Amino acid sequence: MKKVLEPELIDLRSKLKFSFETGEIWLGENRMMLMHVAAMGAFRNEIIQSLGLERARGLLVRLGYASGVRDAELAKSLPSNDCPEAGIMLGPMLHSFKGMVRVEKRKLEMDIPNGKFAGEFVWENSWEAQTHLQEFGVGTDAECWTQVGYASGYVSTFVGRPVIFKETQCVCKGDHHCYIEARLLEHWEDSEDYLKYYKPENIAGRLIDLQEEVVSLRASLNKTALPASVIGESETFKEALDLASTAAAKPITVLLLGETGVGKEVFAHWIHDNSDRATQPFVALNCAAIPNDLLESELFGVEKGAFTGAQQARPGRFERANNGTLFLDEVGDLTPAAQVKLLRVLESGELERLGDIKTRKVNVRLIAATNVNLQQAVKDGKFRADLYYRLNAYPVNIPPLRDRKADIPLLLEAFIKKYALLHNKRIAGVTDKAMKMLMTYTWPGNIRELENMMERGVLLTASDEMIELKHLFAGVADLLPDEVELSPQGRVNTQSKSSINNLIEEMIKDGISLENCELMLMEAALKKTGGNIAKAAELLGVTRRQVAYCLEKEDKK
Ligand SMILES: [Zn+2]
């Protein structure tokens, strides 16, 4: 019988070389490095957080396995390799030597040629258990994954057959110590469950697949964004949508009316998409955004040399929208000359580019929009009456958001979905308090304001969390600590509540009575209004009589 080598007989320390000159550490032929357990622990936690337990477990098992394979190769080169059992025991020694864990053999029976291997070991001071416990506390599973991987890699390489270790007890699940048991792979009934951790998974490939999925989702998002914005169940909104829907089916000119931000362009696009021109171009132009002297060339095109700077012939928006739809926003800002030309295109379908004598035919459906009172502009002589009547043949009034608040929850959902996808986040919704504010607010900027606010909310909210009030009113968050008051005009009342609370605290502390408090307020108001009782009463929101009565009572004291 061969002598079993005791651990102390092999001096592993003699295999360890520190080479300061070259910045290397060697264990036999293997380059090693010293690493902080805390750093490794942080890395391990990050893998778990970002990839999830299962994927992280696989990675860590394979990390340990790779290390075990190297150590087995080192062990084979050591003199003990003629005694298999001693060679196996070098694994635990190396494991301890490297500061991973203290190993104590409980059982080791091996007869590889006859297909037998059974080993049981106690682990103490496992670095991985210690790290895991610190971060996650006691749970229900064994967690020494790199170490189980190491043991499996070491023994499998050493004996030349797959041997799998299982951690049957672990301090991470509240056991007294960690305990591992080894068998040949085929002797484990549930080997499949374990084997999966040893097979590298193509995480990069999976990530690329996901990336592609996101890209295609985003592409489809751009298309679906339009209908998503034409969302609403409220009566006022449905009326407008019904009108738009009727208009879509006919080749008529439509005039969209409504405040800034109600979504006129979205409506125009919706009409286009639901018309028989849907496959043809949709061209939009905001008349207020183009300098007056460029407006005509932008709309009707320009011939080379028509004016200084016109170095090339260029079609205008009308030509580009041929067979499709042209959307002219802020049509009230058209210059008188452009108004004449626009009327002509609407009546005859003909136009000439600037500096050109050739007449061109276009077939364009016009959708115009304005937030000014065109009728008034006609009265003021700023807008041609004949053009106004032409445009106003089919007006559609898009209601402001404050008149369709019932739609806010639906709109919120759509915007959160849109921006969560764009910014790669999961958002759990909005808090009750934020929802209350959103329903109270009067939305002077309409849907555009709501959309901007929701985008900001999504950006400022961590994944899986709810959008809070402070995320929506990001700019004034500091001024709005706990309570936010909204005035009926839609302004946020940024008067700090906490300073009032402090004042109240102080007053109670000083024992100021309610009556005194009332008197102090009245005196302050009177001082402000130069003794005018009526004005002071107005400031305090009480009647003149109440102020007078209070002062009288004080006089009698
Ligand atoms: Zn353990």
Summarize pLDDT for 325-360 with one digit per residue, the tens: 999 999 998 999 899 999 999 999 999 998 888 999
Q: Are 507 and 500 in contact (CB under 8 A)?
A: no
Q: Are 300 and 352 in contact (CB under 8 A)?
A: yes
pLDDT score of 152: 93
Ligand 1 center–CA 167 separation, angstroms: 7
pLDDT score of 209: 65
pLDDT score of 424: 82
**How far is 226 from 350, CA to CA, in rounded Å?**
31
Q: Is residue 145's pLDDT more than 90?
A: yes
pLDDT score of 65: 92
Ligand 1 center–CA 144 separation, angstroms: 4
With cut-offs at 50, 70 and 90, classify the pLDDT of residue 182. Answer: very high
With cut-offs at 50, 70 and 90, classify the pLDDT of residue 481. Answer: very low
Q: Is residue 167's pLDDT more than 90?
A: yes
Reported pTM: 0.49
Ligand 1 center–CA 156 separation, angstroms: 20
pLDDT score of 483: 44
Give the residue carrying structure tokens 């899986």: 464
Q: To the nearest whole number, what is the mean pLDDT of the chain? A: 83
Closest Cα to residue 126, out of 45, 43, 41? Answer: 41
With cut-offs at 50, 70 and 90, classify the pLDDT of residue 62. Answer: very high
Ligand 1 center–CA 44 separation, angstroms: 15
Ligand 1 center–CA 187 separation, angstroms: 22
Ligand 1 center–CA 134 separation, angstroms: 13
CB crowding 394-426: b at 16 or more within 10 Å, else e: bebebbbbeebbebbeebbebbbbbbbbbeebe
R_g (Cα) of the chain, nearest Å: 39
> What residues contact residue 93 under an 8 Å CB cut-off, 6+ apart?
7, 10, 12, 103
The widest CA-to-CA distance across the chain, in whole angstroms, is: 119
pLDDT score of 129: 95
423-468 pLDDT per residue, tens? 888 888 888 888 888 898 888 889 988 988 998 899 888 888 888 8
201-241 pLDDT per residue, tens? 666 666 666 666 666 666 555 544 444 557 888 898 889 98
* Mean pLDDT of the region 490-514: 63
- Most confident residue range from 428-437, 481-490, 543-552: 428-437
